[in-house]
Structure 1
């Protein structure tokens, strides 16, 4: 006799076209948010207020901020890139004063990378600009549409982590 009365529900196929619609919409929104930092982070006459980062540089800087400190190898592994590629990213971040190196506490052959205050400030300002842009766009939606997005946010987050 089977004592297991709870069975996992069978997977249900999503409606046709849902995956494509989500992929396109998320890609467009992602591109638009990336462009906000590139276009709205400028001073008078288009002069840059803060350094402009490539996607790889931004991802590495944000990862370092989240993890507080990492070796170059740990950062390369985290970002799933080859160490020589990460070396170039780190060099660019150091050159802009966004990352600093210090000796590894237990292994004299290694260094530890940390985000400088300038890097923290840059990330904070970029997040502020992106959230302000997104808040303006959300205010254009109906209350019902905003509620649907509020409910969808944790689902999209779960998809991004799977």
Structure 2
């Protein structure tokens, strides 16, 4: 049986979750709009980021990891390959499958976009937050990363 205190705690956590989601969403939107480098697009960023962080994937593994339909990725992967941002090679253990990797050029695109967003964010933190608030934000960022990895 749930007590009144349990219900109150659940309501507080739900409100905190909404507040964090809204803050993260608005900050993400603002960083995209303020970045000096135009966004390559959410799907392109997702593919490049996944290959950068997690390494080689098959197209189906990539689709599953990003919760996308493989057919939705076909054009994106063809474009990224033709632009030299990813490579597609035959899987040595199964010639019917291909393996995708990010190239140096893909890393450069990803990093330039990230740097632009980080520069805006650093300037905004300098303008808007005291040193104590910056330290609190560092702690909150660590907590968010821990939640994301759990």
| TM-score, normalised by the number of residues in structure 1 | 0.77
| 1:19 equivalenced with 2:31 (yes/no) | no
For 1:127, the equivalent position in structure 2 comes to 114
Evaluate the alpha carbon distance shift between residue 15 and residue 77 of structure 1 in structure 2; reply closer, same or farther with a 3 A threshold: closer
Per-residue CA distance 1:48-70 (angstroms, 9 max, x = gap): xxxx5220111011101122211
Alignment equivalent of 1:103, drawn from 74, 90, 94? 90
Which of the pair has the greater relative contact order for Cα pairs under 8 Å at 6+ separation? 2
Structure 2 gaps of 5+ residues are: 1-5
| 1:78 equivalenced with 2:65 (yes/no) | yes
For 2:29, the equivalent position in structure 1 comes to 31
Report the 3-state secondary structure (helix = DSSP H, G, I; strand = E; otherwise coil) of the residue aligned with 2:53.
helix
**What RMSD, in angstroms, separates the aligned Cα atoms of the two structures?**
2.2
Count of residues in correspondence between the two structures = 142
| 1:68 equivalenced with 2:66 (yes/no) | no
- Cα distance in 2, alignment partners of residues 72 and 15 from structure 1: 38
Once structures 1 and 2 are overlaid, which stretch shifts more, 101-110 or 15-24? 15-24
For 2:3, the equivalent position in structure 1 comes to none
For 1:4, the equivalent position in structure 2 comes to none
Structure 1 gaps of 5+ residues are: 1-9, 43-51
Q: Which has the higher helix share?
A: 2
Alpha-carbon offset, residue 21 of structure 1: 2.4
